[in-house]
Each structure stands twice: as C-alpha cells, then as structure tokens.
Structure 1
Amino acid sequence: MSSFAAVLIGIHICVAGVLAANFVYLWMHRPSRGLHADASPDDAASISVLIPARNEAENLQRLLPSLLSQTHTPLEIWVYDDRSTDATAEVVASFNDDRLHLVSGTPLPTGWLGKPHALYQLAQRATGDWYIFLDADTELHHPEAVARWAQQFAARPTPSVATGLPRLRGGAAWLVSLVPNAMLTGLPWPLVKWVDAPSLGALNGQFWMLDAATYHTHEPHRHVRGKVLEDVEIGRYLKSNGVVPYLWDVRDELTVYMYPDTQAAWRGFRKNAYLLMGGHPLAFVLLCAFYTSTFVLAPWVVPWLWISVFGVKVATDRWNGIAWPISLLAPLSYAAGAVLQIDSAWHHWTHNVSWKGRSVAARPAPEEPASQSESG
C-alpha cells in the first residue's frame, strides 16, 4: 500500500469519526428533548424574530403564517424589506397582526453588505430579551417551535450562542445535500467549547439565537459588515470574545427551502464556496486539493473507499430526510462540489460575484463606525 493510499484511508477514518461524534452531539442537543409543557409563561423571555428580506414575497407567504401561529409570548417579528422589487412589502403588510413589524430598507452605507446591514438595522429596533435570526426561506413546523427553542436557550451554558441544523428542502437536492454533509463532517462540534481557537466555530445563518445584551455588547453584524460569509465569521468573532457556539438539531421545528433549481443553487453556492475554502488563493488550492483527493479521487486509488464515500453520503442524506436516489449520486455530487469550488474561486478572483442583483464582493470597511440611525 502506498503512503498516499494510507493517508486517504486515515482521512476517511477521521471523517467517519467526526460524523459519528456529531450525530451523538446533535442527539443530545435537540430542543424537543426535555421540553416542559407546563413551563410558566410568566417566566418566558420576550423574543424578537429578525428576518432579512430582499425579493422574498413568495417565501414570506410560507414563513410568516408559521411564525404568527407560535404559542410563545411575548413575541415580536421584524422584517427588513431590503429594497425589494417584488411584492415583499405588500405580503408583510397583508398580515394584520400587531406582533409583525415591517422596516423599509435604505441604500447600503459604504462598507456594508445587504444581509449584515438588514439584520443590524432590525436589531436596533427589536425590544426582545432574546433574538432569533431567521432566513426568509424557512418555515416553522409546530406552534410550539419558538417555545422549544426558548426553553433550550434558557438552559444553555452562558455566555453562548445557539445555531441549528434544519431540514433542507427545495430543488437541486443532489447539490444542496452537500450542505448537511459538509456541516456534519467538516467541524467536530463536541470540541467547539473545549478548544479556544475561533476557527473551530461557526454559525448557520439560516437560524441562530443570541440574547440581546450579548448582541449589543459585541455588535457582530457591525463587525462583519463587509463579509459575504457573515454567519461563519460571526460564529468565529463571538467565540473569540468568549461566546461559545452550540449546534442544535432543529429538524423537527424548522425547514429551509434553499433553491428552486440547480441553476439557482449553483449561483447561491458560488458566492460562498471559495470563502468556505479559505478565501485566499493558497488556502483555496490546499483545501480544494484536500477535498478533491478525499471525496473524488480516493475511491479510485483505494477501491474499498467507495464504501466510505457512499456510506458518509447516505448517513448525512438520511439524517436530513433526503431521498435514497440522491445518495446514489454521491460521486456526481462530490465531483460537482469540486467544480463549484473552482468556479467560485474564479468568480471571486475576477470580482464577478453577484446575488439578487447586487455585487457581493467584499467591500472595504469604513474607517469610522457606520451610522446607527434608523431607516425606513
């Protein structure tokens, strides 16, 4: 056996170990476990749900009813209409509920990208004790979902920030299925609280939860205002300030409908893939080579590693409820992931990365803190 083959086998053993450890960790961090149905509402913290929305009319018609049906009180919902060209504002206004608030967006200040700016503006208005940050393409499954999260958050170690892995749905499952695969194999979550390195930390921007006092102490969205991969950067920034990220299994409470088709998925992942692979030419080359060797080339070098390639993909797909036929496309999915990384790198290097009609190339941060004046 060659040294290269031995290294590949060792890497696959480590990947399987990380996956197994994360499955156990997530089983221990399910909000539905230990839910006390008789918890007193008088003791409930007030919660603000903050949602950035740019051309999200269709998604909000699914999300907002699921939020307005929540039993947790007190609850307020804030939506930032980030200069949408569709009926986003009209959809929000159509819900006649005092808990729902719409903020009309203004032009981006120098140095800010859209999502950090939207959520920062909402956080200045929110009055809750705790903040839940949700993407507009999510949907809550149960009226007690927020109550479950609140009880889990109340029992958290402090200081900490909670994030979660929801169920993923939508088009392009053969490509989107790489998201839970990467999150479950790429970071050993049981070690996050024990290892001080900020690089061993992240958030999933689709859902995360933080108390208002900690948010306003550290102002994470101001800190990452020019970052495309703002959720990962916030997780690392908060951890560097002693706020430890915890990952929850929120499949029972939350689904994300990421992309309608392969074309949209490719465009969406293009803006992030290069940054996830280091965001620097040297780091990208090394990490892309590592990924390609591990998941694309390895089974051709050591044939029995096909068992590992398919086994890991089947495990993460089944955990997320993704259909069996998608798992059979594992080699194609992994190969597409490698091509996507190269495509993303090229577009970043040529400053040709856009999303929803805006360039999302990282902007230089302003010398002075941006104005906190409210918009809309």
Structure 2
Amino acid sequence: MSWFFLFFALAVCLYTWINLAFLPRLTAPVQPDSLAICIPLRNEERNVRKLLDALEPALTPGMHVYLYEDRSTDRTRELLLDRIGQDDRFTVIDGLPLPAGWAGKVHACHQLAKRTTEDYLLFLDADVTLTPDAICRLYGTLRTERAVFLSGFPSFPVPTFLGKCLIPMQHVLIAQHLPIPFRKVKHPAFAAANGMVVLVERRAYDQVGGHESIQSALVDDLELCRTFKKNGWTTTLVEVAPAVSCDMYATNEEVWQGFLKNVFRGMNDSYIVGSYFLLFYLVQASVLPYLILHPSWQMGGALILLYLARFRIDRAARIRHVWWLHPLAVFLYVILLASAMIRSFRKREITWKGRTYS
C-alpha cells in the first residue's frame, strides 16, 4: 500500500508542476479603446469602499464602470452614491425584482450588459481588488491569447480557518485536473472560468446570447464559458493572481455555505464526476494518517511530494503560509463535496444572500 501512495503522489506532483508551466501569465498593459467594467452588488457594504478605491487608479479614458445595486438590504447603495459623488466614470443602476427562473447574479450581469455599449465587457465581483495596471493587462492578455473570453483565479486573502483550508482549493482543482495546455480547445469539457473576473469581447458575448442564455445557472462562470465553447469561440484561462485579489468570505460560515452551493454544481451535478473527486482527494487526505500509523520512507516521500505540488500551486496563486494545511484541506474538501452531493440527492434548497434556489 505504501508504494501505491508513493507513486500516486509522484504522479500528482509531476502533473501539477508540468501543468502549471503552461498557464499563461499576464502580458504588459495595453489600453483598450472601449471597455465596460460591470459589477453586480448585493449586500456588499463591507467591500464598496475598497472596491472603488482600487478601481479608480485602474481606469483609463476608454473605460466606464457600471454598478448594479441589486436591491441590497444593507448600506450598499448609500455607500456607493456617497463614494462616487459626481464622478461621471461611474454609473449606478438600480436593481429590478428578480424574475422567476433567474439566478440573482446572472440576472444582474444581464442587466449590466444591456446598459453598456462598449466593445469589451469586464465582469468583476464586488469583493475583488485590482492593481492599477490590472485591467489593461487583462485586455492585453486577451488580445495576445487571441481569445474572446478570458478568466482566471485571483489571489485570496484567507483570514478565517476554513478560508485557509478551502478557498485555495480552487487553485488546487485547476492545477490538478484541468489540462491547461488544452484550455483553448473548443469543447465544453475543457471549460474553466472564475466569475470573479471574466473579460469578454462584446461581439462574441452577444452572439452566444450572453447571460440570458444561462438564466438559472448558479455556477454562471463555468456555464458561460461552456456556452462560448459550444458556439465555437476561443476561451482562455490565465494567471491573474499577480494583478487581481478577491476577499471572498469574512466568516467560516460564509466559506462553508458559499462553496456548498457551488462545489457540486460545478461538476454538472454528475455523481460519477463527484465520486472521482471524492476518491482522488480522499487518497491524498489518507497519506498523513497512514504515515503516522505505518511509518515508512515511502509514505514520508509521498507526503513530501504532495507538499511540493501544493507549494507550487500556492506560489502561482500568491497565497502564503497555508500549504502545510494541505492534508486537512483536502479532508475538509471531501466532507464539503460529500455534503453537497447528499443535498443535491435530497433536492434541498440553497439559500444565498437572502435568496433561495432549488
């Protein structure tokens, strides 16, 4: 058994290092002539000021910011209007009631897109922070990649314990499962995206039907990427962490509930795919306990190899000092995914930001 763990860990480590070598880095900044930044906000009072403070120095003359205030129940609207003042680079859009059959964020993005006329649309989450050259670097990379859809996984501040364990797992899943050299293949099976930062060409976005084509999607980023690929457009995934960070969740409860609603949906609710991921990470989670119970150089080597893989992932993701939590992180991920699969099987509803989804 110890030899199995050793060879498994060696394969994981080699695949991770080789795979990440193909992840494109952001290019030098290129100023777009016409680009809209589209940001949905619902109950985002803790993020408004930080978001706008980071956006202002990133804007160039060809950019305009559209903010969809999605009927928040906190002080989001008040803080938005107070912070923006008379700055004509920003437009605040009052949210409409959510129609039946629509997911909240998808409807917000659809309304944002309808209000814009720019040639490129950059969809951002409200908890994202950008470097001053981030938008121009994203645009330059989209052009270099010859794609019409670009996304990537930001760096993540991880203040809570569950955040330290589960939030960086997004980078782990990409590094250890998506064949990055094939990221631009026009088949939905190779779709990968992160809705925190999605840059699209307007012409292609309109042709595929935009967010209106994925009205009920809770994992809207993946579904939109799949839609682009199904329609024959080139999408790409790049390393955005040096220029984009996202402070996703403030509490352990938010971490758990946030991932619980998405983790299985991102697998198309496939119990076969879900079972594969459960088994894959259960093996990784078993290495440390097996080493403690049955010490050997093979098991020690297996643990070191898994740590080397995780260290490489965290270095690319600009996430520090959490790689050593990897055995616990993958164990918690197994529990999270199993819980999501059980909830799906029992057809339990999901509540997020005051809205309930089936």
TM-score (norm 2): 0.88
Cα distance between partner residues in 2 of 1:339 and 1:185: 19
- Structure 1 residues 71 and 134 mapped into 2: Cα distance closer, same or farther (>3 Å)? closer
Residue 312 of structure 1, CA deviation: 1.7
The size of the alignment, in residue pairs, is 344
Do residues 112 (structure 1) and 107 (structure 2) align? no
Give the equivalent residue in structure 2 for 1:355: 352
1:331 aligns to 2:357 (yes or no): no
Structure 2 distance, partners of 1:331, 1:225, is 37
Does the alignment pair 1:50 with 2:42?
A: no
Moved more, 333-342 or 178-187: 178-187
The answer to whether structure 1 residue 30 and structure 2 residue 45 are counterparts is no
Residues 1:254 and 2:244 are matched in the alignment: yes
Conserved? CA contact 2:183–2:237, under 8 Å: no
Q: Deviations over 1:248-303 (max 9, x none)?
A: 2222221100111222101111101122344133443343223323x223563862
The counterpart of 1:75, out of the listed 63, 66, 70, is 63
SS in 2 for 1:77: strand
Q: Does structure 1 residue 184 correspond to structure 2 residue 180?
A: no
Residue 338 of structure 1 and its aligned partner are, at CA, apart by: 0.4
1:70 CA displacement? 2.2
Tell me how far 1:50 sits from its aligned partner. Answer: 0.6
Q: Give the conservation status (yes or no) of the 8 Å contact 1:220–1:238.
A: no
Q: Distance in 1 between matches of 2:176 and 2:272?
A: 22
Is residue 2:226 matched to residue 1:231?
no
Change (3 A) 1:73 1:120: same
RMSD of Structure 2 on Structure 1 (CA) = 2.2
Question: Take 2:14 and 2:233, find their aligned partners in 1: how far apart are those partners?
Answer: 26
Decide which of 260, 264, 285 is 1:270's aligned counterpart: 260
C-alpha contact (below 8 Å) 1:278/1:284 kept by paired residues = no
Q: Is the 8 A contact 2:186 2:233 kept in 1?
A: no
Deviations 1:23-58 (A, max 9, x none): 3223xx222x4446xxxx6xx321100111110122
Partner in structure 1 of residue 141 of structure 2 = 152
- In structure 1, the residue matched to 2:294 is none
CA distance, structure 1, for counterparts of residue 228 and residue 102 of structure 2: 19
Tell me, yes or no, if the aligned pair for 2:307 and 2:323 is still in contact at 8 Å: yes
Q: After superposition, where does 1:273-284 map in structure 2 within 5 Å?
A: 273-284=263-274
Deviation at 1:174?
A: 2.3
Residue type at the aligned position of 1:81:
E
Secondary structure of 2:129's match? strand
What CA distance in whole angstroms lies between the structure 2 residues aligned with 1:292 and 1:277? 17
TM-score by length of 1: 0.84
Residue 16 of structure 1 aligns with which residue? 13
Give, as a single letter, the amino acid of the residue that structure 2 aligns with 1:58. R
1:203 equivalent in structure 2: 193
Looking at structure 1, the residues matched to 196 and 63 of structure 2 have their Cα atoms a distance apart, in angstroms, of 19
Which whole-Å CA distance do the structure 2 matches of 1:18 and 1:35 have between them? 31
Identity of aligned residues (%): 28
1:174 equivalent in alignment to 2:165: yes
Q: Structure 1's 114 and 183: CA in aligned 2 closer, same or farther, altered over 3 A?
A: same
State the SS of the aligned residue for 1:68: helix
Pick closer, same or farther for the CA change 1:281–1:166 going to 2, 3 Å. closer
| 2:113 is equivalent to residue 123 of structure 1 | yes
8 Å contact 2:152–2:237 — kept in the other structure?
yes
**Per the alignment, in what secondary structure is the counterpart of residue 238 of structure 2?**
strand
Amino acid of the residue matched to residue 70 of structure 1? A
Contact 2:183 2:190 in 1 (8 A): yes
8 Å Cα contact 2:166/2:332 also seen in 1: yes
Matched, 1:88 2:76: yes
- Distance of 2:351 and 2:285 partners within structure 1: 28
CA contact (8 A) 1:202 1:233 kept: no
- On the 8 A contact 2:12/2:306 being kept in 1, the answer is no
Are the aligned partners of 1:77 and 1:99 in contact in 2 as well (CA < 8 Å)?
yes
* CA drift at 1:233: 1.4
In 1, are the aligned partners of 2:208 and 2:228 still within 8 Å (CA)? yes
Closer/same/farther in 2, CA of residues 18 and 51 from structure 1, 3 Å limit: farther
Q: CA deviation at 1:80?
A: 1.1
The residue matched to 1:279 in structure 2 has which SS?
coil
Alignment match, 2:338: 342
AA partner of residue 331 (structure 1): P
d(CA) in 2 for partners of 1:17, 1:196: 26
Instruction: Please name the residue that 1:318 is paired with.
Output: 315
Partner AA of 1:30 in structure 2 = R
Out of 122, 129, 132, the position equivalent to 2:122 is: 132
- How far residue 9 of structure 1 moved from its aligned partner, in angstroms, is 5.3
Residue type at the aligned position of 1:233:
E
Opposite residue 47 of structure 1, the aligned amino acid is: L
CA 1:286–1:175 in 2, change beyond 3 Å: closer, same or farther?
closer
8 Å CA contact 2:38, 2:66 repeated in 1: yes
CA-to-partner distance for each residue in 1:324-364, whole Å, 9 max, x for gaps? Answer: 2x222211111001011112222333323211111133xxx
Cα deviation for residue 200 of structure 1 reads: 1.1
